[in-house]
Amino acid sequence: MNSLFDFWWQHAPVLSVLLPFFTAVLLLAVGDAGGMAAQGGAHDVGRLRWSRRLAMASVVLGLIMAGAMVWKASLGELMVYRLGDWPAPFGIVLVIDRLSGLMVLLTYLVAVPVAWYATGGWDARGRYFHALFQFQLMGLCGAFLTGDMFNLFVFFEILLIASYVLLLHGQGKERFRMGVHYVVLNLSASALFLIGLAMLYSVTGTLNMTDMAVRVAQLSGDSALLAKAAALVLLVVFGLKAALVPLYFWLPGTYAAASAPVAALFAIMTKVGVYSIIRTHWVIFGADAGEASLAAADWLLPLALTTSVLGVLGALAARSMNRMVAYLTVSSVGTIMAGVGMFTPDTLSAALYYALHSTIVVAGLFLLIELLAAQRGDAGDALKPAQAVREPILLGLMMLFGAASAAGLPPLPGFIGKLMILQSSHGLVAQPWVWTVVLLVGFLSMVGLARAGAILFWHVQPAPSSYDASGGSSLKLMSATWACMAMTLALAVVASPVKQYTDDAAAQLTDRAAYQRAVLGDLGNSTRPYTGER
C-alpha cells in the first residue's frame, strides 16, 4: 500500500490533470445520448446511466486524490513534476505547493455535489454534459498546478472552451445571447494574455514562473519598466477572469443565464483569476522583485473594495434570485482581493480562507435557487410574490443557512473569514477603508438576502388548482444542495486547522529560495538576467 501511495505521489501532479482528461475520453467513447434519453429509449437511457456512473466515480476519486495532495502539501514539501524529465526552466513543470493543492481540493469539493446534482436530470437536457464537465476540471486542475506561464494560458483555454459549451447546455435564447458576450470577452482577454506573456518573455527569456521571478528581480531601467507594464496587462487579463471592476459586467448576466449546475461549477471560475493574480503579483512581482516590486499594489486594493461595493449594490437591485447570487459572487471576489491587495501574509491567509467559504456557499445557493424556482410556477426565480413552495421548512432552512453564511453572520465561516480579514488589516494604512467596506457590504448583503427571503416565503399567493409544486423536490437534488451547506458548516468547525494551513500557504509563497531549490535546482543559483542571447 505504501509503495502504491509513493507511486501516486511521485506522479500526483500529472495524474490530477490526466484523470479528468481520460475520463472525458472514455465518456466520449461510451457515448452520451443526452436529450434523446429523455424520450425513453432503453439504449439511450443505458448509455446515460453508464456516463453518470463513470463521471461520478471520477470526481470522487479526484476528491480523494486532492485530499491526499493537501495532506502531503501540509507537511511543507514542494512536489515538482518535470514532464519528459526535462529540467526547468527548459522543460514544463507542474508544482504542488500548499496553495495549488488547496485550490485543486476546492475544485473537487464543488465538483462532486454539482456533478451529483446534474445527474438528477440536467445532464439529459443536452449532449456530452459529463465529458465537457471533465474537460473543464482538467483545465481547472492544470491551471492550478502548472509552474509555467504559457501553460497557464493553455489550461485557461481548455477550461474556457469547455465552459463555452457548458454555458449553452439546455439551450435557450438568453443563454445564446450571453454566450456570445462571454466568448468575445474571453477571446479578447486571451489575446491580451499572449501580449503580456510576450512582453515578459522579451525581458526575461523564460516562461517558467520560478525562473521568471528570479530574472524579474534582476531587471533595471527600461527592462524593469517593460516588466511592470506586462504585469499590469496581466492584471487586466486576470481581473477579467476574476470579475474585478471595471471588468465584472459580463458575470451577472452570464451566471444568471446558465443552468443551475453550470452556474454552481462556475463559482470556481473566478477563483482561477484570483489564483493567477496571486501567482503573478505575489511570486513574480512580489515585495522582493527589485525595481518591479508590487507593480499592481496601487491598483489592486482600490479595485477590490470598489468591486465589493458595486457587487452588493447590484445584488440589492437584482430582480431575480440568480442575478442576485451572481452579483454576490462579484462582491465576494472583491472581499477576497482586498485581502490579496494588502500584500501581507496575514491578509493573504485570511483571503484564502474566505475564498474557500464563498466559493462553496455560492455554489450551494445556485443549486438552491433552482429548487425554489421549480416550485414557484411561472414566477420562477423572479423576486416577486408567487405561490408558496411545497417544502417551505426544508427550503427555508437552506435559504436561511446559505444567506446567513453569505452575509457573514456569526458563527458561520463567512463571519470568521471577514473577521480574519479585518484583524489582519490592523495597523495598515488601508485599515479604515477595509473595515468600512467589509462591514458595509456585510450589512447590505444581509438586507438584500433578507428581502429575497421575505418575498419567497412570506409574500405568497394562492396557487392555481391545477398547479403541481412537486418539481425540485428530488432527494438527489436536495442532498447535493445540502452537501454544499454542510461543507460551509464544516469549514467553521475546523476553522483553526484550516487557518493554520492558509497561514502556512501564505508564508510558503514568500519563500522564493525554497521554490528556486525545488524547481530550478542548481540552476537557481546560476541564473543571470536575460541578454537576448541563447
Q: In this predicted structure, what is the pLDDT of residue 44?
A: 65
Position 140 confidence tier, pLDDT thresholds 50, 70, 90? very high
Return left, alpha or beta for 427; rule: phi > 0 is left, psi -120 to 50 is alpha, else beta. left
Provide mean pLDDT across the span 312-327. Answer: 93
pLDDT higher than 50, residue 533 = no
pLDDT at residue 48, as a whole number: 82
In this predicted structure, what is the pLDDT of residue 523?
A: 57
293-322 average pLDDT score: 92
- Please determine, for residue 33, whether its predicted confidence score (pLDDT) is greater than 60: no
- For 174, the 3-state DSSP assignment is helix
Higher pLDDT, 387 or 336: 336
pLDDT at 346: 95
Model confidence at 199, pLDDT cuts 50, 70, 90, reads very high
Average pLDDT of the chain to the nearest whole number = 88
More confident position, 340 or 396: 340
Residue 467, pLDDT score: 55
Lowest mean pLDDT among 119-128, 437-446, 483-492, 501-510: 119-128
| Interval 161-182: pLDDT, tens | 999 999 988 777 888 888 888 8
Alpha helices in 243-344 (DSSP H): 250-257, 260-266, 269-278, 297-317, 321-341
| CB-facing half-sphere around the CA of 329: CA atoms within 13 A | 35
Residue 534 has pLDDT above 50, yes or no: no
Q: Is pLDDT of 466 > 70?
A: no
pLDDT at 181: 87
β-sheet bridge partners, residue 41: none
Are the C-beta atoms of residues 412 and 348 closer than 8 Å to each other? Answer: no
Of 143 and 467, more confident: 143
pTM above 0.85, yes or no: yes
CB atoms within 10 A of CB 456: 27
Partners of 387 in beta bridges: 461
* 3-class DSSP assignment, residue 368: helix
Closest alpha carbon to 139 in 306, 28, 279, 16 = 16
Lowest mean pLDDT among 31-40, 117-126, 237-246, 287-296: 31-40
DSSP code for 382: B
All three cell numbers of 458: 412570506
Q: pLDDT above 70 covers what percent of the chain?
A: 92
Residue 82 vs residues 87, 96, 98: alpha-carbon distances, Å: 6, 12, 18
High-pLDDT (> 90) share of the chain, %: 58
Q: What is the mean pLDDT of residues 291-298?
A: 87
pLDDT at 197: 94
Which whole number is the average pLDDT over 438-456? 91
Give mean pLDDT, residues 289-309.
91
User: Prior bond to 345 cis, omega within 30?
Assistant: no
What 81-90 contacts at long range (C-beta under 8 Å, 24+ apart), as own/partner pairs, is 81/11, 81/12, 81/13, 81/14, 83/14, 87/521, 87/523, 88/147, 88/208, 88/210, 88/211, 88/519, 88/520, 88/521, 88/523, 89/206, 89/207, 89/208, 89/210, 89/211, 89/520, 89/523
pLDDT for the residue 112: 96
**In sequence order, what are the beta bridge partners of 94?**
81, 146
pLDDT exceeds cutoff 50 at 435: yes
Reduced to 3 states, what is the DSSP secondary structure of residue 148? strand
Q: What is the pLDDT of residues 206-236, one digit of tens each?
A: 999 999 999 999 988 899 999 999 999 999 9
Question: Would you state the torsion angle of the CA atoms of residues 345, 350, 353, 358, taken in this order, to the nearest 10 degrees?
Answer: -130
pLDDT at 522: 60
C-alpha 197/C-alpha 218 separation (Å) is: 18
Q: Where are the domains of the chain?
A: 296-493
Say yes or no to pLDDT of 493 above 80: yes
SS3 assignment, position 226:
helix
The grid coordinates listed for 52 are 453518470
Region for residue 109 given its phi and psi (left: phi exceeds 0; alpha: psi -120 to 50; beta: otherwise): alpha
pLDDT in tens, 236-276: 999 999 999 988 888 898 998 888 999 999 999 999 999 99
DSSP state of 297: H
Q: Is the pLDDT of residue 204 over 50?
A: yes
